[in-house]
A and B are shown apart, each in its own frame.
Chain A
Amino acid sequence: MSGAPAVAGRQDEGAFARPARGRAVSDHPLPWLLPLVLILLAFTVYPLFYNIYLSFHEYAPFKRALVWVGTENWTRLFADGRLWDSLGVTLVYFVVALAIEVALGMAIALLLDADEPGFGFLRGVLTLTLVIPPAITGMMFLLMEDPQFGILSYVLKLFGLLDSTTPILATPSLALAGVVLADVWQWTPFMVLIFLAGLRALPVEPYEAAMIDGASPLQTFTRLTLPMMGKVIAVAVLIRGIDLFRVFDYVYVMTSGGPGTATYSLSLYAWQQTFSFVKWGYGATISLFSLVIVLVVANLFIYLAKVRW
């Protein structure tokens, strides 16, 4: 039988059987997991160590080579005002976008949580924003927010909400809002769809009881819906939060971090240090810094919110 695939013994029960306690290769998890482990080692663990190596070196243009600089990049990091500015921008972006997306997402989910004709179609339309390349979304909003011919600027001016000479993305106090708007447009539907699925799966009985007790809609929402939706909200916040913290695409195409440093995110700062300013070591150091923040905060969140996979 050796050499022949086990399938060959299909018709023959005897040849197919093996001793109950005999462990075949495929009974062990290793061969199943090996390809995954190899790829993860090669593409996440090795680059991580390479990044750490880079953070203790810097490119020397005259020698055209990496030279050892010790902890210079790390001490520079903590004294770099622009780094803390970009961390601030990232945190503001993160908090504002997340808050709007969760609140607006919940409101729209509650609105769509009904068996009205056409609501299935509306849910389908909302999924479309999720699959547009964010770089192209950035372009869409760049066009719409253009001070001369952008339709959004035009409408805002029409309602007197925007000065006719103010370019949204070139005004330090407005630029970040202009970028957050693109994010909110693209990812609020992400929240809507997840919350809707959560709402649809809620049991009916507590609501019937609340109605008999004469609870107001607001009470029903805060005392019943929110607590029962806890896990759903936690998962959505976790996944969206991880992505918000690494924001790059929108700021890269819409403002390149400007005007000044008003929209400089941490990821953009790390990227530009490495690839625009040839500070390979310093860029790597910044990227490690942001990696550490995400890993600590996200794992803490998973632990505290008891999210399980």
Chain B
Amino acid sequence: MHSSPAARALRWVLAWAVVALFAFPIYYWITVAFKVPREIFDNPPRVFDFSPTVENFEKVFGFSFGGGLQTVTGGGGNFYMTPRLWDSIVIAVFSTLLAVVVSTLASYALSRMTFRGRHHFVAWVLSTRMMPPVAVAIPMFFIFKDLSLLDTYTGMILVHALMNLPLAVLLLKSFFDDIPAEIDESAVVDGASRFLIFRRIVLPMAKGGIAATAVLCFIFSWTEFLFALTLTQTSIKTVPVVSSTFVTSTGTAWGNMAALGAAAMIPAFVFILLVQKHLVRGLTMGSLKQ
């Protein structure tokens, strides 16, 4: 369709303005991470004119940018957050691994084998995605208490893997569905076992889809709040949960919170830009293909 130059210019300006509006809160949050408290509390708020400082990052991650690696807070200050980043990484990585391995196997069967009740099975997997997390977290708290899984990596990894399974199963099934079944069938005729076909032929062909699934699982674990809030106590805490504790009776440590928040956004930003190609399919759990 052809549009007039004026219409094109208007569309262009509007599009940039709208996206700038959406980007602004992220920009502003990052400036807060680089501000000293006095500038954070200024009114009118400072958007561009502030003197950037890395003080907040030094306090939160416990090292000085000036004099090499040196502990600023004695390693145990209230806002020393490096261990919390580590907790988030461990939980996200291992829950992703578990979810992807389990769902790859299941999705292959759901994509390739016909059996009675397959449709109901898919519906069951989908319905677990509908459960409100609070309806899982409450009983899980008591079950984990009995099993001594509260406040452990194992417990959090299991729960985050569970949370990601419906997405991973449905998404991977859609990627396997894209690979022509004739490829499997001709290999079956040649006498290869299902598992051999899966490992040697189908898996390599679905590599991109598996990677995209893994990235999404990682991000959902990285950003998850309710389970982490409920099922961890003192020994481990994920970044979203610990961020909410920066609000103290003596005021909110906005600068430190923003520094931690900004640092937590970076890996997610990088990952999501890597999977742009499969993003919509991922967001709709494999229902819509790009």
Contact = CB atoms under 8 A, between A and B. Distances in A.
B268 A132 contact: yes
B268 to A, nearest CB: 4
Contact of B32 (A7, A48, A143): A143
Given A140-B25, A198-B288, A249-B225, A32 B105 contact: yes
Interface in B244-289: 244, 246, 254, 257-258, 261, 264-265, 268-269, 271-273, 276, 279-280, 283-288
Interface in B81-125: 101-103, 105-106, 108-110, 113, 115, 121-122, 124-125
A40 B125 contact: yes
A298 interface: yes
B66 interface: no
A148 to B, nearest CB: 6
A166 to B, nearest CB: 15
B82 to A, nearest CB: 17
B138 A287 contact: yes
A135 B132 contact: no
Interface residues of B, number: 106
Contacts of A261: none
A257 interface: no
Interface in B224-239: 224-226, 229-230, 239
A221 interface: no
B283 A140 contact: no
Interface in A6-21: 6-7, 16-18
Contact of A290 (B129, B135, B143, B258): B135
Interface stretch (A72-80, A92-100, A122-130, A169-177): A122-130
A136 B25 contact: no
Contact of A126 (B19, B269, B288): B19
B89 to A, nearest CB: 14
A225 interface: no
B105 A35 contact: yes
Residue of A40, A148, A239 ringed by the most chain B CB atoms within 10 A: A40
Nearest to A120: B276
A264 interface: no
Interface in B1-30: 1, 8, 11-12, 14-16, 18-19, 22-23, 25-26, 28-29
A271 B137 CA distance: 9
A81 B1 CA distance: 56
Interface stretch (B38-46, B48-56, B206-214): B38-46
Contact of A284 (B16, B139, B191, B222): B139
B143 A46 contact: yes
Contact of A127 (B109, B125, B224, B276): B276
Contacts of A189: 22
Contacts of A242: 129-130
Contacts of B190: 16-17
B158 A119 contact: no
Nearest to A22: B191
Residue of A28, A128, A189, A242 ringed by the most chain B CB atoms within 10 A: A128
Contacts of B28: 140, 144, 151
Contacts of A33: 105-106, 109-110, 121
Nearest to A135: B240
Given A24-B193, A36-B105, A295-B127, A129 B26 contact: yes
Contact of A190 (B45, B132, B191, B283): B283
B143 A149 contact: no
B140 interface: yes
Interface stretch (B57-65, B71-79, B159-167): B159-167
A26 to B, nearest CB: 4
A144 to B, nearest CB: 7
Given A125-B22, A287-B135, A307-B287, A36 B243 contact: no
Interface of B: 1, 8, 11-12, 14-16, 18-19, 22-23, 25-26, 28-29, 32, 40-45, 47, 101-103, 105-106, 108-110, 113, 115, 121-122, 124-143, 158-159, 161-162, 165, 169-170, 173, 190-196, 198, 219, 222-226, 229-230, 239-241, 243-244, 246, 254, 257-258, 261, 264-265, 268-269, 271-273, 276, 279-280, 283-288, 290
17 contacts: A6-B192, A18-B193, A35-B102, A44-B136, A118-B16, A125-B22, A128-B269, A131-B265, A133-B264, A135-B225, A143-B258, A144-B28, A185-B22, A197-B290, A207-B1, A239-B284, A252-B244
Given A48-B135, A201-B290, A253-B244, 19 more contacts: A16-B190, A17-B191, A33-B105, A36-B102, A54-B138, A128-B23, A128-B26, A130-B272, A132-B26, A134-B240, A136-B240, A136-B265, A139-B243, A140-B25, A144-B28, A196-B280, A235-B287, A252-B229, A271-B134
The 6 closest A-B pairs by CB, nearest first: A32-B109, A131-B268, A26-B194, A47-B139, A133-B223, A50-B139
